[in-house]
Copies of this chain bind each other. A is one copy, B any other.
């Protein structure tokens, strides 16, 4: 540790992104990325955009893309905050509304980054266990004396809460800030955006990294009461006023306007997800019902980590977690139909191999 590194950071828990090994080509089904390219409208936007416009600073108020997003979801631009990825949006929420010692509650099994934020900003991170069926324990969230951050649908589980249940959590106490991370909302769950005009203690965060197939573009947004958004903007102007580059603003506008393409890609993903769940269930796997672009299922007949390792040997990256509660589960991103057929073929091969070897050992 250098002389200068701040005390309290020694044991910081960095977020560990899905692995990106370079030793060979892999089919990456471990980071909930899409197998589809971004909207073709982007190409047009990029050729139309004078590349030369990069020689000027962009509008730090991000007026055009905030208007495009606002128009798309029926909010005024004043209710929209745009960030360099949803991570940065949540980062600015943390900087604006959370200080050392504040409480923030989430689920015990959820997007790991919330714990990282909590630790980084020295918050008390309250982990409320999922129920036995891996659904969010809404009653406990209603009662907890804490601000709340929850993904809906939940990652890596895949289950979603109905809007009415989220409303119970938000409505309980207007002095409780509730952040709902809707990264996976476009794959079939209901958005709680309509609650934003009713409650000024709710921030809904969405991203272009999932249903719009462009994690590499780093565009996320938050929608909330305009007072909250204005305060986040003030903090942004104190740390990184020009947080969204000119190209991202242009391609973001093109992407948000291409609702047709989003619908096409998400419908296809939902269809393949259904097929994949059916195949897994046919083989006897316990599959959690999901409204996301991934499936989450239990491997009973062999260690899940071994299944993941064997898939990796075959060039397929998927996600396995060491947490005790879900160590028997695997998360696989929904890729193309061909990719998923290959994954199923390998899963069957691997299961078969394991069975044969177990029998050999037993005999």
Contact = CB atoms under 8 A, between A and B. Distances in A.
A188 interface: no
B38 A216 contact: no
Contacts of A228: 2, 4-5
Given A33-B56, A216-B56, A216-B57, A97 B38 contact: no
B241 A2 contact: no
Interface in A156-210: 174-175, 177, 200-201, 209
A4 B216 contact: no
Interface stretch (A84-92, A130-138, A266-274, A287-295): A84-92
A238 B119 contact: yes
Nearest to A224: B2
A338 to B, nearest CB: 16
Interface in A231-289: 231, 234-235, 237-248, 251
Contact of A246 (B13, B46, B52, B217): B217
Nearest to A93: B4
Interface string A1-42: 111111001001111011010000000100101111110001
A53 interface: yes
A213 interface: yes
A217 B209 CA distance: 19
A184 to B, nearest CB: 15
Nearest to A245: B218
A60 interface: yes
A342 interface: no
A227 interface: yes
A231 to B, nearest CB: 5
Given A4-B228, A56-B216, A228-B2, A15 B51 contact: no
A89 to B, nearest CB: 10
Contacts of A251: 54
B239 A87 contact: yes
A124 interface: no
Contact of A52 (B37, B91, B174): B37
Nearest to A214: B54
A58 interface: yes
A116 interface: yes
Contacts of A97: 4-6
Contacts of A237: 14-15, 116
A43 interface: yes
B87 A241 contact: yes
A120 interface: yes
Interface in A108-132: 116-117, 119-120
Given A238-B120, A246-B217, A60 B231 contact: no
Interface string A57-90: 1111000000000000000000000001101100
Nearest to A231: B5
A31 B51 contact: no
B53 A234 contact: no
A9 B55 contact: no
24 contacts: A2-B200, A2-B227, A2-B231, A3-B201, A4-B231, A5-B96, A6-B96, A12-B235, A14-B237, A17-B241, A18-B57, A31-B57, A36-B55, A37-B52, A37-B55, A46-B46, A54-B214, A58-B215, A84-B243, A85-B240, A85-B243, A119-B238, A216-B245, A247-B247
